[in-house]
Amino acid sequence: MPDDRPKIPLSFGGGMDRATGVFEVGPENFLDLRNVYLYRNRLEARKGLAAANAFVDDAAADVDDVVLVSPMRSEQMGVVVGYQDGDRELHVYRVDGDGTGTDLVGAWGTLPALAHEPPRVLATESYRKLFLAHDEVVFGRRLSTYYYDPFVGTPLVQLTADFDGAGAAPVYFRGVARHLNYVIGWGYGTASEPSRPEIVRISMPAAPTSWNAEHYVIAGVRDDPVLNCQSMGATPSPLAVFKGNETYQIFGFDRRTFGIRRIDDIYGLAAARLAITVNGVCYFWSLEGPRATSGNGPSKDLAWPLDLDAPAPATLVAEGAIKDGFAEYLPGRRVILFVFGKRVYALSIWNPTDPKWSYWEMGYELFCGGRLS
């Protein structure tokens, strides 16, 4: 006689018999953990998402996509960038540290025709300014780099520099990052030769809006783009420079000592936003899955605990496009999230020598994420 008594589904097993309390454990037990936080010796169910705010543009129309959430710690508040696909405009907002409150700062610009939608944005804060870069592969479809300065009359300021001796001109970095007391920008050459995706430029020390044409390094072969730069935060602090299939290190602490060398000739970054650094270790998603590096040598594999090389569970929500994926860190939970639309790979690092993986499933597509404090 078939046993058709109801069973309660559990994230770590097949269910529990209501009559006897006996667990039914499937063969995927502890290999298919979903929607839980993992700790050293326990797990906790993850709460769902809740709306904290809504954004409208200067025409009182709702924005279609939030494409950046970034803290501005010097002001104890956050900055949000929204995209309206009707007029293709990007708008910048100031929000409170808890995500509430909406102050429209202004329009960043209009997305050029044929640019990737929604646009991907990278940001970094330095000396009470937040720099915004448009991560667009094709230079001719890229918005110029701006920075938000709350202490000037027009708080959205276009970044300009003279890189070819012809006078100051708008800068079109593909990405920006902070390293030591510098701002790092990549993917831009000069006004006369703008598309130089392999160039990494370094601002003047303690002056992130001032740039010297001679202060740059070349990462690898020409036209092979730099995708992201991550400051390791350790002493001495290397800067990891990621390309698609290799990784470089910028070493040194000032203009006199900066240099570059390749540290990994096999693994690089799958997409520009799929890297995050925690406690001197950069966790990133390569074309072959998740890896980690200290920025001083070859990266190590992180995929095997979840058996990510094997087929995903049949009932798991579909994965979004890897080029739109992003990484984020929840410090209170010590969990790193690699987000691909509705599917999330969550890496618990309570014990960094024994990381643990779980799956999260979201009710709708996520395009960006960030902490406001």
Q: What DSSP character marks residue 56?
A: B
Of residues 36 and 309, more confidently modeled = 36
| Phi, psi torsion values for 281, nearest 5 degrees | -125, 130
pLDDT at residue 49 greater than cutoff 90? no
pLDDT average, residue stretch 78-95: 96
Distances (CA, A) of 347 to 334, 338, 358, 372: 8, 8, 7, 21
**What is the predicted pLDDT for the residue at 50?**
85
Is residue 70 included in any domain, yes or no?
Answer: yes
Give the model's confidence band at 306: pLDDT under 50 very low, under 70 low, under 90 confident, else very high: low
When the pLDDT of each residue in the chain is averaged and rounded to a whole number, the result is 90
CB-based contact 77:372 (threshold 8 Å): yes
Residue 140 covered by a domain: yes
In a domain, 343, yes or no: no
Domain count of the fold of the chain: 1
Long-range CB contacts (within 8 A, 24+) of 210-213? 210/161, 211/161, 211/163, 211/171, 211/185, 213/161, 213/162, 213/163, 213/164, 213/165
Instruction: Decide if pLDDT at 23 tops 50.
Output: no
Strands (E), 128-221: 129-134, 146-148, 156-158, 160-161, 169-170, 175-179, 182-186, 199-204, 207-218
Residue whose tokens read 């058709």: 4
Start-to-end CA span in the chain (Å): 58
Residue partners of 46: CB distance under 8 A and separation at least 6: 35, 36, 37, 360
Distance separating alpha carbons of residues 97 and 93, to the nearest angstrom: 13
Q: In sequence order, which ranges of 14-106 are alpha helices (DSSP H)?
A: none
In this structure, is residue 345 part of a structural domain?
A: no
pLDDT of res. 27: 43
Task: Determine the 3-state secondary structure of 306 from DSSP.
Answer: helix
pLDDT for 20 beyond 90: no
| Within a domain: 3 | no
d(CA 57, CA 37): 36
Six token digits for residue 147: 């920075």
Q: Are 35 and 58 in contact (CB under 8 A)?
A: no
The count of other CB atoms within 10 Å of the CB of residue 39 is 15
Tokens of residue 56, six digits? 């409208």
Residue 250 belongs to some domain of the structure = yes
Residues in the chain: 373
Report how far Cα 107 is from the mean position of its chain's Cα atoms: 22
CA pair distance 283, 242, nearest whole angstrom? 12
More confident residue, 157 or 7: 157
pLDDT tens, position by position, 191-224: 999 999 999 999 999 999 999 999 999 999 999 9
Q: Check which CATH number belongs to the domain holding 71 and give it.
A: 2.130.10.10
The pLDDT assigned to 235 comes to 66
Per-residue pLDDT at 21 = 47
Residue 309 belongs to a domain: no
Residue 257 burial (C-beta neighbours within 10 Å; 0-12, 13-18, 19+): exposed
**Confidence at residue 81, expressed as pLDDT on a 0 to 100 scale:** 98
Contacts of 199 (CB under 8 A, 6+ apart): 186, 187, 188, 189, 216, 217, 218, 219, 226
pLDDT in tens, 267-277: 999 999 999 99
Pairing of strands 199-204, 182-186: antiparallel
Range list of β-strands (E), 175-322: 175-179, 182-186, 199-204, 207-218, 228-231, 239-242, 247-251, 259-264, 275-278, 281-286, 289-293, 300-301
User: Using CA atoms, how far apart are residues 143 and 149, in angstroms rounded to an integer?
Assistant: 18
Could you please report the per-residue DSSP string of 320-351? --GGG-EEEEETTTTEEEEEEEEEEEEEE-SS
Separation between Cα atoms, residue 219 and residue 261, nearest integer Å: 8
Q: Confirm whether 139 is domain-assigned.
A: yes
Range of the domain at 272: 55-304
Q: Rounded distance, CA 189 to CA 64, Å?
A: 32
